[in-house]
Amino acid sequence: MKIAYIGTYPPRECGIGTFTRNLLISMTNNHEPNVNSDEKFVVALNNHGQTYDYPEEVKLTIRQDHLRDYILAVKFINSSGADICILEHEFGIFGGDNGIYILPLLHRLETPLIVTFHSVLKTPSYNEKAITQEICKMANKIVVMSHKAIEFLTGIYNVQEEKIALIEHGVPDIQFSHEQSKKEYRLENKKVLLTFGLLSRNKGIETAIKALPKVIKKHHEVVYIILGKTHPMVQKCSDEEYRNYLRRLIKSLNLENHIIWVNKFVNQKELFKYLFASDIYITPYLNEAQITSGSLTYAVATGSAVISTPYWHAQELLAEGRGRLFNFNDSEELSNILLELLDKPDVLEGIRKKASNYGRKITWTKTGKEYLVLAEKILKDKPKVIVKKETIIDPLILPPFSLTHIKRLTDDTGIIQHAKFGIPNLKDGYCLDDNARALLLVLMAFRQKKYPLALELSHFYLSYIHYMQNKNGTFRNFLSFNRNFLDETGSEDSFGRAIWALGYLLANAPNDAYYQTGKLIFFDSSSNFEKLQSIRGIANTMVGISHYLKSNMSDELMIERLRNLAYKLINQYEEESSPDWKWFESLIAYDNGMLPLALLHSAEILNDEKITETALETMEFLTKVTLREGYLSLIGNKNWYKKGGERSVFAQQPLDALAMVLMFHQAFTLTKDKEYLNKLFTSFMWFLGENDLRINLYDFETCGCCDGLEEYGVNRNQGAESTLAYLISHLTVLQAFEELHIIS
């Protein structure tokens, strides 16, 4: 069994790194004949530009904030021959928003996966919950260290309990003499209190300090050791502000002679010597949200009498008389417990004995054995091979279709452009682009599902388009919330989107009033069709004309206009393309699928071989660029993809995913090749987590769609463009599934 470990690792000063090393050693040295000491390696996380002198088992490092490193790491693991991978998870050690960079690695992983959660949050943010759920989906087994963690995973994250294993935090089998350790640190005749860990405000050490004056009045022999350096992130943000605050507090209480500072990150052996030298261990954390504490586990295992605030792990670990609890921030209660234990040595010794006995049950030898048994079982119970269906469209995995967020964004003027998270941002007003897309959406929804709400909303969007039309047939684009025009003439892109929606209306009008209004606006604008220069404005207009012509094939003038626009695109293509660059421009920018889509629609109407050939050729080129990894990886708008250069990965926009869905649907309509439906569904799944960051953009709570994939994670704003792109894509998937059923 070859095991790959992912986590922090010594000499990086990190509790999870120590855990990873101990787990590796304990699994390797567990006297199992099928575990070779050479058959393990570590992929270690480096933080914020730091590098470390790692031991030989570290075969590769990941720079925390470099997404490319995660991809290289998973390629290394997959090619290494590893049988299983064990991930140590804590949000703060991985890059991206809430550590989202670990998801692309896990998705590409070709070995079974065990994940150890060092934190499970009770009140996660949207991203934290989504990331945790994605990790749980990909894990073959999830390991936690407390019953509370199981409760959270099943109740909050909807993880099946049978997928979770409880394996307690291991403890090194290191033994020192209590008396000898005291002597070594010159603490003979002292009653030693100890707190260990990286210093930060949430440690609550001031609570323990404030408890000491009352204790020292009766027990002058008491000293309190504060062991540990300041947390690196705290030091980066506020230097030694917290430690200096504690120093001032100590001085004000005249405790200088009773406090011992050990301002360093001690190794494991030295830590245990301090623990064995202590009589009482104190963890005065300020809130309950600590699901696992390695330092607490160590203290119990070494036989310290532990006094702790009732955070989650402490409540479990100190049960059955293994320690004492006191309320958060309650120095008075802590003083009373300290006095009781110091006054009654037999009670103190009883706690120490129970703790020590428990510690012998959770040594790393036993913990490593449990992990090893878990890994062997996973490898023994290999999942069945899933036979690939003829097409992968599965409407059952789609969320329920809902216009809830569209309704939220719509008022009696039209649809609001932007949102702050899921709340309409009225300051940004309205635009023609979104109202055109909104009209297209509700017409599709009414045609396919006969939703009354779709028809109720449609007149707002059609009225907006009419209101924004100029006398010469062009359109304004932007309107403020108080209905002031913000431009004289909108972009050609917005013009084309309006024509697209109007053309679809003329082919699918719900009643005559809509048809007549749409026809009036459409033909008032038609004199501008052949004046268009922007290739995306041209493409959107071509799609609208094509929809119109499907029910008006006798309109020879409009057929010629469509042909002229199609050859504008073809001429552009012939000027810019080369044997290795089959595209319309010297860069691939935004809304890319609209260009082949327009030609595919035109090919259906015009039956022109050259148009068809160009449409398929450019579509295949775009497909190779964006689907080469087996999922949709859109061109990011940060720097686009320039001919001869490197493509941008971020930021990715839902509008581009919509264009790909529509493009493959029209390719299927034209050719009846079912493989295009596979690509259509793969493109749609970009919204539901099949993307570069392995995270959902659809928000199941608001029924909106997030605004895109950024380098740091998901842009959580849910504006009109993004949600409309998702919902139009959703309806297209359903339509494609019905069409497949018909031809089958």
**pLDDT for residue 37 is more than 60:** no
Residues whose CB falls within 8 Å of the CB of residue 461, separated by 6 or more in sequence, listed in order: 414, 415, 435, 436, 438, 439, 442, 501
Least confident of 347-361, 465-479, 489-503, 511-525: 347-361
| Residue 296 lies inside a defined structural domain of this protein | yes
Residues whose CB falls within 8 Å of the CB of residue 341, separated by 6 or more in sequence, listed in order: 280, 305, 307, 324, 347, 348, 351
| Residue 200 lies inside a defined structural domain of this protein | yes
**pLDDT for residue 442 is more than 70:** yes
258 plus 231 within the same structural domain: yes
**pLDDT for residue 311 is more than 50:** yes
Mean pLDDT of the region 70-75:
91
Identify which has the larger pLDDT, 175 or 621.
Answer: 621
Identify which has the larger pLDDT, 188 or 504.
Answer: 504
Mean pLDDT of the region 548-554:
88
- CB-based burial, 477-493: b 16+ in 10 Å, e otherwise: bbbebeeeeeeeebbbb
Q: Compute how many other C-beta atoms are within 10 angstroms of the C-beta atom of residue 644.
A: 8
Label residue 317 by pLDDT band (50, 70, 90): confident
Q: What is the pTM of this model?
A: 0.67
User: What is the spatial distance between Cα 431 and Cα 479, in angstroms, rounded to a whole number?
Assistant: 6
pLDDT of residue 87: 97
279 plus 259 within the same structural domain: yes
What spatial distance separates the first Cα and last Cα of the chain, rounded to whole Å? 46
Secondary structure (H, E, C), 437-488: HHHHHHHHHHHHHCCHHHHHHHHHHHHHHHHCECCCCCECCEECCCCCECCC
**Considering only CA atoms, which of 171, 168, 174 is closest in space to residue 371?**
168
pLDDT of residue 437: 96
| Residue 561 lies inside a defined structural domain of this protein | no
Show which of 362, 392, 425 is a domain's final residue: 362
287 plus 343 within the same structural domain: yes
153 plus 199 within the same structural domain: no
245 plus 154 within the same structural domain: no
Q: Which helix (H) or strand (E) holds 280?
A: strand 280-283
Place of tokens 């896990």: 106
Residue % of the chain over a pLDDT of 90: 57
**pLDDT for residue 48 is more than 80:** no
**pLDDT for residue 388 is more than 50:** no
Show which of 362, 391, 411 is a domain's final residue: 362
278 plus 191 within the same structural domain: yes
Structural domain that includes position 31: 3-170+368-380
Mean pLDDT of the region 105-119:
92
Taking only the tens place, the pLDDT of each residue in 557-582 is: 999 999 999 999 999 999 998 999 99
242 plus 210 within the same structural domain: yes
Which range, 70-74, 230-234, 300-304, is most confident?
A: 70-74
**pLDDT for residue 664 is more than 70:** yes
Q: What sections of 551-585 are H helices per DSSP?
A: 556-576
Residues whose CB falls within 8 Å of the CB of residue 391, separated by 6 or more in sequence, listed in order: 674, 677, 678, 681, 740
What's the domain count of the chain?
2
Taking only the tens place, the pLDDT of each residue in 690-742 is: 888 888 899 888 999 999 998 888 898 999 999 999 999 999 998 888 887 66
How far lies 428's CA from each of 215, 409, 486, 719, in Å?
62, 12, 11, 11
Q: What single string gives the DSSP state of each residue in 61-75?
A: EEETT-HHHHHHHHH
Show which of 315, 336, 362 is a domain's final residue: 362
Q: Is the dihedral of CA 89, 94, 100, 105 positive or negative?
A: negative
pLDDT of residue 742: 65
292 plus 375 within the same structural domain: no
Taking only the tens place, the pLDDT of each residue in 13-36 is: 888 998 999 999 989 876 454 545
Label residue 389 by pLDDT band (50, 70, 90): very low
| Residue 518 lies inside a defined structural domain of this protein | no
Residue 308 sits in a domain of what CATH number?
3.40.50.2000
| Residue 275 lies inside a defined structural domain of this protein | yes
198 plus 159 within the same structural domain: no
| Residue 79 lies inside a defined structural domain of this protein | yes
| Residue 84 lies inside a defined structural domain of this protein | yes
206 plus 275 within the same structural domain: yes
Mean pLDDT of the region 251-264:
89
**Considering only CA atoms, which of 202, 211, 338 is closest in space to residue 281?**
338
164 plus 70 within the same structural domain: yes
pLDDT of residue 661: 96
Pair of tokens at residue 574: 């012939």
| Residue 19 lies inside a defined structural domain of this protein | yes
Average pLDDT, the chain: 89
46 plus 94 within the same structural domain: yes
**pLDDT for residue 282 is more than 80:** yes
**pLDDT for residue 434 is more than 50:** yes
